[in-house]
Amino acid sequence: MKHLIFISYLYKFYLNIFYIQVINKENKKLSLRDMREIIEIHRYAFTYRMTSIFVIIFHLLYTIFNLVSLVLFVPFLQIIFLDKTKAIKHVIEPIYNGGFINFFKFISKYYEYFMNNMAAQDPKKALYFVCFTVFISFLLKNIFRYAVIWHQSQMRMSVVRDIREKLFEKSLKLPLSFYTDERKGDLMSRMNSDVGEIEVAIVSVLELIYREPLAIIIHISVLLYWSPQLTIFSFILLPVSALAISRIGKSLKRTAKEGQHQMGVLNSAIEEGLGAIRLIKAFNAIPQVLNNFKKINLKHQQLITKTFRKKDLSSPLNETLGAFVMVCIVWFGGSMILDTKSESTLNGAEFIAFIVVFSQLLRPIQGISNSMGFINKAKVSLDRIHEILNSDEKIFEVENPMTLNELEDGLSFKNVSFKYKDEFVLKNINFKIPKGKTFALVGESGSGKSTISDLLPRFYDVSEGNIFYDSIDIKNASIKDLRSHIGIVSQESILFNDTARNNILFGTENASDEEIIAAAKIANAHEFIMNLENGYDTNIGERGNKLSGGQKQRMSIARAVLKNPSIMILDEATSALDTESEKLVQDALEKLMKDRTSLVIAHRLSTIKNADQIIVLSKGEIIEMGTHQELLDKKGLYYNLCSLQGINN
Confidence tier at 432 by pLDDT (50, 70, 90): very high
Residues 59 and 148 placed together within one structural domain of the fold? yes
- Which contacts qualify for 168-177: CB closer than 8 Å, 24 or more apart? 170/388, 170/389, 170/391, 171/388, 173/393, 174/388, 174/391, 174/393, 175/393, 175/394, 175/395, 175/459, 175/460, 176/454, 176/459, 176/460, 177/394, 177/420, 177/460
Residues 456 and 381 placed together within one structural domain of the fold? no
564-573 confidence digits (pLDDT tens): 888 888 887 6
Confirm whether 399 is domain-assigned: no
Confidence tier at 417 by pLDDT (50, 70, 90): very high
The model's pTM is 0.67
Domain count of the fold of the chain = 2
Confirm whether 400 is domain-assigned: no
% residues pLDDT > 70 (the chain): 76
The enclosing domain of 639 has a CATH number of 3.40.50.300
Confirm whether 396 is domain-assigned: no
pLDDT beyond 80 at 640: yes
Residues 442 and 526 placed together within one structural domain of the fold? yes
Given 331, 357, 389, the domain boundary residue is: 389
pLDDT beyond 60 at 222: yes
- In this prediction, residues 271-283 reach a mean pLDDT of 73
Bridge partners for 410 per DSSP: 434
User: Do 34 and 45 contact (CB within 8 A), yes or no?
Assistant: no
How high is the pLDDT of residue 24? 43
Residues 482 and 588 placed together within one structural domain of the fold? yes
Residues 474 and 607 placed together within one structural domain of the fold? yes
Confidence tier at 27 by pLDDT (50, 70, 90): very low
355-395 confidence digits (pLDDT tens): 777 777 777 877 777 777 788 778 888 888 888 888 776 77
User: Do 377 and 256 contact (CB within 8 A), yes or no?
Assistant: yes
Confirm whether 39 is domain-assigned: yes
How high is the pLDDT of residue 519? 86
pLDDT beyond 50 at 542: yes
How high is the pLDDT of residue 473? 92
443-462 confidence digits (pLDDT tens): 888 888 888 988 998 888 89
Shortest CA distance to 438 belongs to which of 214, 592, 552, 232?
Answer: 592
- In this prediction, residues 170-191 reach a mean pLDDT of 75
How high is the pLDDT of residue 144? 92
Confirm whether 563 is domain-assigned: yes
Q: At what angle do helices 348-389 and 32-45 cross, to 10 degrees?
A: 90
User: Do 456 and 472 contact (CB within 8 A), yes or no?
Assistant: no
Residue type, 33: R
Q: How far is CA 59 from CA 54, 143, 147, 152, in A?
A: 8, 11, 9, 10
How high is the pLDDT of residue 433? 92
How high is the pLDDT of residue 582? 67
- In this prediction, residues 151-158 reach a mean pLDDT of 88
Which stretch of 29-33, 525-529, 560-564 has the lowest confidence by average pLDDT?
29-33
Average pLDDT, the chain: 77
Residues 342 and 470 placed together within one structural domain of the fold? no
Residues 226 and 164 placed together within one structural domain of the fold? yes
Confidence tier at 218 by pLDDT (50, 70, 90): confident
Confirm whether 610 is domain-assigned: yes
Query: Helix (H, G, I), strand (E, B), or coil: what is residue 345?
Result: coil
pLDDT beyond 80 at 93: no
Confidence tier at 613 by pLDDT (50, 70, 90): very high
Confidence tier at 609 by pLDDT (50, 70, 90): confident
Confirm whether 420 is domain-assigned: yes
How high is the pLDDT of residue 318? 64
How high is the pLDDT of residue 615? 92
Given 325, 355, 389, the domain boundary residue is: 389
Residues 607 and 487 placed together within one structural domain of the fold? yes
62 or 273: which carries more pLDDT confidence? 62
pLDDT beyond 70 at 82: no
Which DSSP string do the residues of 64-101 spell out, in sequence order?
HHHHHHHHTHHHHHHHHHS-TTS-----PPPS--STTH
Confidence tier at 241 by pLDDT (50, 70, 90): low
How high is the pLDDT of residue 546? 85
Q: Which helix (H) or strand (E) holds 171?
A: helix 123-173
pLDDT beyond 90 at 413: yes
Confirm whether 9 is domain-assigned: no
The enclosing domain of 217 has a CATH number of 1.20.1560.10
Domain that holds residue 614: 410-644
Residues 337 and 483 placed together within one structural domain of the fold? no
How high is the pLDDT of residue 94? 41
Residues 99 and 248 placed together within one structural domain of the fold? yes
How high is the pLDDT of residue 346? 67
Contacts with 327 (C-beta within 8 Å, 6 or more apart), sequence order: none
Residues 339 and 252 placed together within one structural domain of the fold? yes
Q: How far is CA 520 from CA 487, 488, 491, 582, in A?
A: 15, 16, 19, 17
Residues 527 and 602 placed together within one structural domain of the fold? yes
Cα 575 from Cα 431, distance rounded (Å): 25
pLDDT beyond 90 at 467: yes
284-296 confidence digits (pLDDT tens): 778 888 888 888 8
How high is the pLDDT of residue 10? 43
Cα 68 from Cα 351, distance rounded (Å): 16
Cα 37 from Cα 82, distance rounded (Å): 54
How high is the pLDDT of residue 98? 43
How high is the pLDDT of residue 203? 85
Sheet holding 472-473, edge to edge: 424-434, 410-419, 464-469, 472-473
- In this prediction, residues 37-41 reach a mean pLDDT of 78
Cα 222 from Cα 63, distance rounded (Å): 13
Confidence tier at 20 by pLDDT (50, 70, 90): very low
- In this prediction, residues 467-492 reach a mean pLDDT of 88
Given 359, 389, 419, the domain boundary residue is: 389
Confidence tier at 117 by pLDDT (50, 70, 90): low
How high is the pLDDT of residue 364? 81
Confidence tier at 206 by pLDDT (50, 70, 90): confident
How high is the pLDDT of residue 466? 93
